[in-house]
Structure 1
Amino acid sequence: MDLDPGTIAIIQLAWSRGLGLDDGALADADANERIYHVTAEPRQVSFVRLFGREVFCGPEWAADYVRSKSLTELTRGSTLMRLSHDVGGRALGTELLYFADTFPTLFPAEDYAVGEDPLLVSALERLCPPDDVSEAGLSARDSVFTLVDDSAGEERVLSGAGYSLSEGILADMSVLTAPSVRCRGLGSYISAVAVEDAMAAGLIPQWRVESGNVGAARTAVSSGFIAAGLRASVALPAA
């Protein structure tokens, strides 16, 4: 399954704007072309590969360093860390980029209810490891949905998904599931609820998954998302 060409064009527009490029920069670039966006006072160094196009953003000295580096080298966060080591760079990690443009199939969940109460999100976050809570950032999302088991007469939150608006076009997704009920498809179900809401609002769902988070990547794929690229970033200290 592939993304519609029109969807790809909109995603390229959104990312071009987000990276500080001209609106048509990514769409007009040739396949496997690398764009260098040199900034005078950068807060971070980043490398993005999206639909076969590459963008490097950072100061001139960093751009000079990576011009001879291959795609394989730049997709490793260690390469960016080495180039920023002398100035105190801090690794932000590598994100895998997924997108969706097809409404998900939602089957009735007779045993569960969908809620939108922020208190349910807080309750879910208390059940999960701090690192998972930080990565998902669910309570900070603009729109959030939770999957609740109320069969025993008392609400028990199981999973949650939500999104925030990005560049006025994309719905930046995340999901969080209680450890005791993972690997049951609950994250995929509530993600589909959030995806449907985002698409009904005219947005394109985007899912940024930390490299190495196999569970989140599986949930993204099972929710209908398609891998389209990655971003590796290193934060630079304030000048």
Structure 2
Amino acid sequence: MTFDLNSAPIVLLAWERALALPTDSLLSDTRDGRITHAAETTELTFLRLWNQSILSGPAHLLAAAQEYSDDELSDHSTMLRLTKLEGGRGLGTQALYYADDLELHQPEHTVHVSTGTPEALRLESLCPPDDVNDVGLSGREHKFTVMDSGESDAGPLACSAYAEHQGLLAQLGTLVAPNARRQGLGRLATSIAAHEALAAGLIVQWQSDVNNSAAHALAVGTGFSVAGLLTRISLQTGQTRHK
């Protein structure tokens, strides 16, 4: 794995900003244990990173969650039970992976890589809608698409793209055409995009559903280190008051 824990404060700072936590609340608190952050929001979020856990959301839900362990709150079903009265809608539990250095995976043959948006959009048109929505290539500004090098129509085979997050992280996602899967192209595209992000001075973040074994294998195979879990529940607007 290629993540130095000396880089962990950068990841924690990014999440501190993303969750609108008080300044230095993660960086100065190195104890094991749960941090709770009451916020007027329409989402309940539970984050586990290394030895820390953070629960953020409406105050009455934080109070109701006190009786649950971190393992229980990492379970999507527990969070749904907590938010039943608020009309909670599950946004899933995702595994979080990070890399601050990666081995460069050289392809066996010369490949053509496009950084244009049309090629990424064309790739999305070839893939199942669920895959397209999970990866969200269109919303990531830095795209790297591996193109078919055949003499016929040079179509897209795989694309990995990242979006800058909090000026510190590169949120990475990869999509592979159905007829090009299991050929190492996803790993190749991921490696290319990750190295571009690292060269830009960012730490690379990969997140995927905990049940997505293919995404897990791709992340680990590329060299990412598992760091934690993120569970999110959407609350119906106007129903986050204590009842």
TM-score (norm 2): 0.93
Does the alignment pair 1:37 with 2:63?
Answer: no
Residue by residue over 1:170-220, the C-alpha shift from the partner in whole angstroms, topping out at 9 and shown as x without a partner, is 000000001112122110111010011101111110011112111111111
**Is the 2:32–2:51 Cα contact (8 Å) retained in structure 1?**
yes
Q: Which whole-Å CA distance do the structure 2 matches of 1:111 and 1:200 have between them? A: 21
Structure 1 distance, partners of 2:146, 2:229, is 29
Show the counterpart of 1:226: 225
2:2–2:223 contact (8 Å) kept in structure 1:
no
Aligned partners of 1:146 and 1:157 also within 8 Å: yes
Q: For structure 1, which segment, 158-167 or 26-35, has the greater mean C-alpha deviation from structure 2 after superposition?
A: 26-35
Aligned residues: 238
The answer to whether the 8 A contact 1:171-1:198 is kept is yes
Deviation at 1:31, TM superposition (A): 4.2
Is 1:11–2:6 an aligned residue pair?
A: no
In the TM superposition, residue 23 of structure 1 has moved relative to its aligned partner by: 3.5
User: By how many angstroms is 1:111 displaced?
Assistant: 5.0
Query: What is the 5 A alignment of 1:1-239?
Result: 1=1, 3-39=3-39, 41-239=40-238
Deviations along 1:70-111, whole A, 9 cap, x unmatched?
122111111111111112111111111000011331314525
Write out per-residue CA displacement over residues 120-154 of structure 1, whole angstroms, 9 at most, x where no aligned residue.
Answer: 11111111110000000012101001011122242
Aligned twin of 2:241: none
Q: In 2 relative to 1, CA 23–221 (structure 1 residues): closer, same or farther, beyond 3 Å?
A: farther
Unaligned runs of 5+ in 1: none
The separation in 2 between residues aligned to 1:23 and 1:186, in whole angstroms, is: 41
Note the aligned Cα RMSD (angstroms): 1.4
Percent identity for Structure 1 against Structure 2: 36
Per-residue CA deviation, residues 5-41 of structure 1 (Å, 9 max, x unaligned), is 33111111111111111342223223431000011x2
Contact residue 111 and residue 149 of structure 1 kept, 8 A: no
Q: Secondary structure at the match of 1:67?
A: helix
Q: Provide the C-alpha distance between the structure 2 equivalents of 1:95 and 1:58, rounded to a whole number of angstroms.
A: 18
Q: Is the 8 A contact 1:142 1:164 kept in 2?
A: yes
**Residue identity opposite 1:107 in structure 2:** Q
Return 5+ residue gaps in structure 2 as ranges: 239-243
| Cα distance in 1 between the residues matched to 2:22 and 2:61 | 21
SS at match of 1:125: helix
